[in-house]
């Protein structure tokens, strides 16, 4: 008997009809002899609705909202605790509704919150990391013939507080449960029928991939492809969880995230990722001496702000400029910290730009091919798009550009690298490196 973890995202459980459709799918899987653990998200739009309620309350009382500059650490933690308690209710609704729908079909099922499993996390509210899952109780219910339906996105910290895993976190709940239970496959059911060469909402010519390596998927996710939360792909890689992305609306093979790259025909570029919500900060005229970077980035990392691309200019007159990018919603917080550090260091000034987008091309084929970066730059130049920052790794190249060019750039690159479903012209030439 196979064990499957089946995860259904917000749109897949967005209405009562959709919850019945999910119950049909789970019932079929169960009746064909599988053990099934289901993980569900909140109904589409619910997490956003809850967040805006919290914002309304906070702005009404005149206090700063969570994450805003000026909040001290204790307040942020206290606020984060309550926001997590609030957000976790979204998933609690869908687990109960789905179990009721399954019971109508005479499928024995039980709902679980994260803390009932328990899914233990660290205490970082809003972006908690899973530390450990005790699968004993879930296993016992499966052995007793139940379908187990688990609330995604939530866990419990060492002090018993409810935590949440960051937006899109139900994917991580599903893969982590699959790892803890050594499931035969973790199936992520969503509103697209697999992983595409680019977001099909932006690039109509995007193609579904039959397979993609875990390495490429990890890059794509961390660079903005939101079909899977990055942490979920990390879990799949670390624990070797067989992972598949499929549609909850249609039947089909979906996309398999593979751990074995060797049998695969390697396309040059597997896909293109983008993130339209970036911001850039530059601290100008800082002393060019040891310890400066750590003085700048220390407070930023203590505030749990993720820094992405970093450029330090060549120093002149014993001073230099340093530019880095952060997510746009962390810009104000980063800016306040940087203004403070700039004053302490005697830097000339700080300038910022919140209209930045990042586009990345990803593929393990880059290891054996040269000329990919120059092709990318050439395509952007031909379209009159200025590159503001560049960063590369072994299997990806990212550029920072003005966000108004995002769609144009993604479509042009998709076509130039031969990813369009019916390419009108041959992909550009690149040389093979031996």
- CA 386 to mean position of chain CA atoms: 27
Q: Strand 271-287's sheet: what is its strand order?
A: 307-312, 319-327, 271-287, 349-362, 396-402, 389-393
Pick what 199 binds: ligand ASP, Mg ion, ligand ADP, none; C-beta below 5 to 8 Å, kind-dependent: ligand ADP
154 binds ligand ADP (CB under 6 A): no
Q: CB 121 → ligand ASP: shortest distance, Å?
A: 14
Q: Check residue 168 and give left, alpha or beta (phi > 0: left; psi -120 to 50: alpha).
A: left
Under 8 Å between Cβ of 84 and 151:
no
CA distance 285 to 176: 46
Query: Which three-class secondary structure state does DSSP give residue 130?
Result: strand
The footprint of ligand ADP on residues 180-199 (CB under 6 A) is: 190-192, 195-196, 198-199
Rounded Cα distance between 279 and 265, Å, is 37
Which residue in the set 9, 135, 155, 224 belongs to the binding site for ligand ASP (CB under 6 A)? 9
> Where in 280-319 is the site for ligand ADP (CB under 6 A)?
none
Residue placing its CB nearer to ligand ASP in the complex, 41 or 76? 41
49 belongs to the binding site for ligand ADP (CB under 6 A): no
Residue 322 · residue 286 · CB < 8 Å: yes
Structural tokens at position 298 = 């220390």
Residue 226 sits in the site that holds ligand ADP (CB under 6 A): yes
Q: Rank residues 41 and 430 by Cβ distance to ligand ADP and give the closer one.
A: 41
Instruction: Indicate whether 90 belongs to the interface with ligand ASP (CB under 6 A).
Output: yes
**Long-range contacts at 207-210 (CB < 8 A, ≥ 24 apart):** 207/419, 207/420, 207/421, 208/255, 209/255, 209/270, 209/271, 210/253, 210/255, 210/256
Binding residue for ligand ASP (CB under 6 A) from 41, 213, 230, 430?
Answer: 41
Respond yes or no on whether the N-terminal peptide bond of residue 430 is cis (omega within 30° of 0). Answer: no
How does DSSP assign 195-225, residue by residue? Answer: -BSS-TTT-TT--B-SEEEHHHHHHHHHTT-
- State yes or no: residue 114 binds ligand ASP (CB under 6 A): no
Smallest distance from the beta carbon of 9 to Mg ion, in angstroms? 5
Residue 201 near ligand ADP by CB under 6 A: yes
Question: Is residue 215 a contact residue for ligand ADP (CB under 6 A)?
Answer: no
Scan residues 304-363 and list those touching ligand ASP (CB under 6 A).
none
CA atoms of 185 and 258, how far apart (whole Å)? 12
- Name the residue nearer to ligand ASP (CB basis): 168 or 271: 168
**Where in 106-169 does DSSP place strands (E)?**
109-112, 119-121, 130-133, 147-151, 154-156, 162-164
Neighbours of 201 (CB within 10 A): 10
Q: Which does 222 bind (CB under 5 to 8 A by kind): ligand ADP, Mg ion, ligand ASP, none?
A: none
**Residue number with CB closer to ligand ADP (220 or 241):** 220
Task: Find the shortest distance in angstroms from Cβ 311 to ligand ADP.
Answer: 27
Taking CB under 6 A as the rule, does residue 126 contact ligand ASP? Answer: no
CB of 11 to ligand ADP, least distance (A): 5
Per-residue binder mask for ligand ADP (CB under 6 A), 156-185, x = binder: ------------x-----------------
269 interacts with, out of Mg ion, ligand ASP, ligand ADP, none, CB within 5 to 8 A per kind = none
Determine the 3-state secondary structure of 128 from DSSP. coil
Shortest distance in whole angstroms from residue 188 CB to Mg ion: 8
CA atoms within 13 A on the CB side of 60: 6
By C-beta, is 173 or 430 nearer to Mg ion? 173
Judged by the rule CB under 6 A, the positions of this chain that interact with ligand ASP are 9-10, 41-42, 47, 90, 152-153, 167-170
Judged by the rule CB under 6 A, the positions of this chain that interact with ligand ADP are 9-12, 41, 168, 190-192, 195-196, 198-199, 201, 225-227, 271
């Amino acid at each position: 008997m196979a064990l499957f973890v089946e995860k259904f995202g917000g749109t897949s459980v967005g209405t009562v009809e959709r919850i019945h459709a999910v119950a049909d799918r789970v019932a079929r899987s169960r009746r064909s002899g599988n053990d099934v653990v289901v993980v569900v998200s909140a109904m589409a739009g619910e997490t956003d609705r809850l967040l805006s309620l919290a914002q309304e309350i906070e702005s009404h009382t005149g206090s700063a909202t969570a994450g805003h500059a000026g909040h001290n650490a204790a307040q942020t933690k206290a606020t984060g605790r309550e926001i997590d308690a609030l957000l976790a209710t979204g998933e609690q609704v869908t687990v109960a509704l789905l179990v009721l729908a399954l019971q109508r079909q005479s499928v024995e099922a039980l709902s679980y919150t994260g803390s009932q499993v328990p899914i233990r996390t660290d205490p970082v509210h809003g972006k908690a990391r899973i530390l450990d899952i005790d699968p004993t109780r879930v296993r016992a219910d499966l052995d007793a013939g139940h379908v187990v339906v688990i609330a995604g996105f939530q866990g419990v910290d060492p002090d018993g507080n409810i935590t949440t895993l960051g937006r899109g976190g139900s994917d991580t709940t599903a893969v982590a449960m699959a790892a803890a239970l050594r499931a035969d496959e973790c199936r992520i059911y969503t509103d697209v029928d697999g992983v595409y060469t680019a977001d099909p909402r932006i690039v109509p010519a995007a193609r579904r991939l039959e397979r993609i390596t875990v390495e490429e998927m990890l890059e794509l996710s961390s660079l903005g492809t939101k079909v899977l939360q990055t942490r979920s792909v990390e879990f799949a890689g670390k624990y070797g969880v067989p992972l598949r992305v499929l549609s909850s609306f249609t039947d089909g093979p979906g996309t398999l995230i593979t751990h074995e790259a060797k049998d695969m025909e390697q396309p040059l570029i597997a896909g293109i990722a983008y993130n339209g919500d970036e911001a850039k900060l530059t601290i100008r005229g800082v002393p060019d001496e040891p310890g400066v970077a750590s003085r700048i980035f220390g407070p930023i990392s203590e505030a749990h702000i993720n820094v992405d691309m970093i450029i330090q200019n060549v120093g002149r007159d014993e001073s230099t400029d340093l530019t880095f990018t952060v997510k746009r919603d962390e810009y104000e917080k980063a800016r306040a910290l940087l203004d403070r550090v700039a004053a302490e260091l005697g830097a000339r000034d700080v300038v910022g730009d919140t209209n930045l987008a990042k586009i990345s091309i990803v593929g393990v084929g880059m290891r054996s091919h040269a000329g990919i970066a120059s092709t990318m730059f050439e395509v952007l130049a031909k379209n009159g798009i200025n590159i503001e920052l560049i960063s590369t790794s072994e299997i990806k190249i990212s550029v920072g550009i003005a966000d108004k060019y995002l769609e144009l750039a993604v479509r042009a690159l998709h076509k130039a690298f031969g990813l369009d479903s019916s390419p009108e012209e041959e992909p550009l030439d690149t040389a093979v490196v031996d």
